[in-house]
């Protein structure tokens, strides 16, 4: 979760006024404010481009021409208006335009935006990337990001210290290279809503709760899809130079009381081809991290009036639901897989995974 004050978190538990700032900046230009009629920000950790936004803004033909300038950067801050001229806002989106439609006659422009992973996906590897064998995975990811988008600030909090290894070459896709390095190092890598690029550890059983949602809860709606019931992860060597001498490694749910144990639903495998794991221990660590990521029960919690724009993907949150009708009070502890934040009403729908116990 992004850093906010205790006053901000307390305000989220009660009805409050919202404050938002919307700007765009053309290359070598200054930020220009947008007049927004409606807008949402969506986070989806299953996508490489994690944050997208949709805005309806007021503007003229000249505004449309400026907004659609190639390379323009869009930034959204959102938060709480305490009154008396006091606000607390934080970044919820930073990225670029992927589409714009001007409705001639009503003075509105519809914008589709995506974070700068869209930039990395667009800018492929013209020259194959082949780092030194001693180059760390985190350094290789940083190189890929700053080469494709110079000037990007890369923040590394990941604990992985593994090296890329010998004769690894990535071609064509910058994002494919980043994805393979992250999987082997049990890492996550993405653009944060302030425009920086973060390389972090994947969540684990030791993750701690970052926020508890309680108080004015408008509704809780739970849905549970049954199409991603993975219980086994298979990691296979994929380097082509013969340097990976280990056989495929498997991590699986072994607790027979687990509802996803193979005795209950069969073996449901998730396969990963590893290009940079050069030991059994590294492959096993990658398999265990992937299993933890895919095994949580997927659900959706509609939090209604309770929303928190400071949330980030893979945050562990607790939702306290009071006793309703014949149902007793309950507490849900979930990882955030994604959300949609309405920038006008402040409501939020959160997609989550139930926290695995190990």
CATH of the domain at 182: 3.55.50.10
Three state DSSP letters for 52-82: EEEEEEECCHHHHHHHCCCCCEEEEEEEEEE
CB atoms under 10 Å from CB of 281, counted, come to 11
Interhelix angle 280-295/174-184, nearest 10 degrees: 100
| DSSP output for 149-170 | STT--EEE------B--TT--E
Tell me, yes or no, whether 22 and 92 share the same domain: yes
Residue pair 141/156 in contact (Cβ under 8 Å)? The answer is no
Burial status of residue 35 (CB atoms within 10 A of its CB: 0-12, 13-18, 19 or more) = exposed
Tell me, yes or no, whether 10 and 109 share the same domain: yes
Q: Look at residue 53 in the predicted model and tell me its pLDDT.
A: 98
Tell me, yes or no, whether 178 and 130 share the same domain: yes
Could you give the CA distance from residue 159 to residue 138 in angstroms, rounded to a whole number?
Answer: 9
Tell me, yes or no, whether 131 and 96 share the same domain: no
Q: Look at residue 146 in the predicted model and tell me its pLDDT.
A: 97
- Tell me, yes or no, whether 150 lies in a domain: yes
Choosing from 265, 295, 325, the residue where a domain stops is 295
Tell me, yes or no, whether 10 and 104 share the same domain: yes
Q: Look at residue 357 in the predicted model and tell me its pLDDT.
A: 58
Choosing from 114, 132, 148, the residue where a domain stops is 114
Owning domain of residue 183: 120-201
Q: Provide φ and ψ at 117, rounded to 5°.
A: -65, -25
- Tell me, yes or no, whether 269 lies in a domain: yes
Tell me, yes or no, whether 84 and 108 share the same domain: yes
Q: Provide φ and ψ at 284, rounded to 5°.
A: -65, -45
Could you give the CA distance from residue 121 to residue 178 in angstroms, rounded to a whole number?
Answer: 11
Q: Look at residue 13 in the predicted model and tell me its pLDDT.
A: 79
Q: Look at residue 88 in the predicted model and tell me its pLDDT.
A: 97
Residue pair 72/27 in contact (Cβ under 8 Å)? The answer is yes
316 closest CA partner among 200, 186, 212, 169: 212
CATH of the domain at 62: 2.40.10
- Tell me, yes or no, whether 342 lies in a domain: no
In three-state secondary structure terms, 24 is: strand
Choosing from 252, 270, 295, the residue where a domain stops is 295
Q: Look at residue 293 in the predicted model and tell me its pLDDT.
A: 77
Look at the chain and count its residues.
358
- Tell me, yes or no, whether 327 lies in a domain: no
Tell me, yes or no, whether 12 and 109 share the same domain: yes
In three-state secondary structure terms, 169 is: coil
Q: Look at residue 239 in the predicted model and tell me its pLDDT.
A: 78
Tell me, yes or no, whether 152 and 95 share the same domain: no
**Per-residue tokens: 336:** 């955030």
Q: CA-CA distances (angstroms) from residue 224 to 181, 252, 290?
A: 31, 22, 21
Residues of the chain with pLDDT under 50: none
Could you give the CA distance from residue 249 to residue 233 in angstroms, rounded to a whole number?
Answer: 8
- Structural domain tally of the chain? 3
- Tell me, yes or no, whether 196 lies in a domain: yes
Tell me, yes or no, whether 58 and 76 share the same domain: yes
CB atoms under 10 Å from CB of 261, counted, come to 15
Q: Look at residue 245 in the predicted model and tell me its pLDDT.
A: 85
**Cβ contacts of 139 within 8 Å, gap of 6 or more:** 131
Largest CA distance in the chain: 67
Could you give the CA distance from residue 275 to residue 257 in angstroms, rounded to a whole number?
Answer: 34
Interhelix angle 137-148/174-184, nearest 10 degrees: 160
- Tell me, yes or no, whether 319 lies in a domain: no
In three-state secondary structure terms, 28 is: coil
Could you give the CA distance from residue 219 to residue 183 in angstroms, rounded to a whole number?
Answer: 36
Residue pair 308/209 in contact (Cβ under 8 Å)? The answer is no
């Amino acid at each position: 979760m992004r850093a906010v004050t205790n006053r901000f978190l307390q305000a989220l538990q009660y009805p409050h006024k919202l404050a938002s700032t919307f700007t765009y900046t053309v290359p070598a230009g200054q930020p220009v404010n947008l007049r927004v009629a409606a807008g949402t920000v969506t986070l989806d950790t299953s996508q490489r481009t994690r944050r997208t936004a949709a805005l309806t803004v007021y503007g003229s033909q000249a505004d449309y021409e400026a907004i659609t300038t190639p390379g323009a950067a869009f930034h959204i801050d959102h938060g709480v208006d305490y009154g008396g001229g006091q606000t607390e806002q934080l970044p919820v989106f930073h990225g670029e335009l992927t589409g714009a439609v001007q409705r001639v006659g009503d003075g509105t422009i519809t914008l589709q935006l995506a974070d700068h992973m869209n930039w990395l996906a667009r800018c492929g590897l013209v020259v194959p990337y082949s780092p030194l064998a001693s180059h760390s995975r985190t350094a290789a990811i940083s190189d890929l990001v700053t080469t494709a988008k110079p000037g990007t600030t890369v923040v590394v909090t990941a604990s992985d210290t593994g090296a890329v290894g010998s004769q690894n070459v990535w071609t064509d896709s910058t994002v494919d290279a980043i994805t393979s390095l992250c999987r082997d190092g049990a890492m996550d890598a993405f653009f944060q809503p302030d425009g920086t690029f973060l390389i972090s550890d994947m969540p684990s059983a030791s993750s701690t709760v970052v926020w508890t949602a309680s108080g004015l809860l408008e509704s809780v709606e739970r849905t549970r899809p049954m199409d991603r019931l993975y219980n086994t992860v298979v990691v296979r060597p994929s380097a082509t130079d013969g340097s990976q001498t280990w056989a495929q490694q498997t991590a699986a749910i072994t607790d027979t009381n687990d509802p996803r144990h193979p005795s209950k639903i069969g073996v449901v495998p998730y396969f990963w081809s590893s290009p940079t794991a050069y030991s059994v221990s590294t492959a096993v660590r990658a398999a265990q991290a992937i299993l933890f990521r895919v095994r949580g029960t997927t659900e959706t919690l509609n939090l209604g009036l309770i929303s928190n724009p400071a949330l980030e993907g893979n945050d562990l949150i607790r939702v306290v639901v009071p006793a309703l009708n014949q149902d007793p009070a309950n507490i849900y502890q979930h990882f955030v897989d994604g959300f949609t934040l309405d920038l006008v009403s402040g409501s939020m729908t959160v997609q989550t995974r139930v926290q695995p116990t190990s």
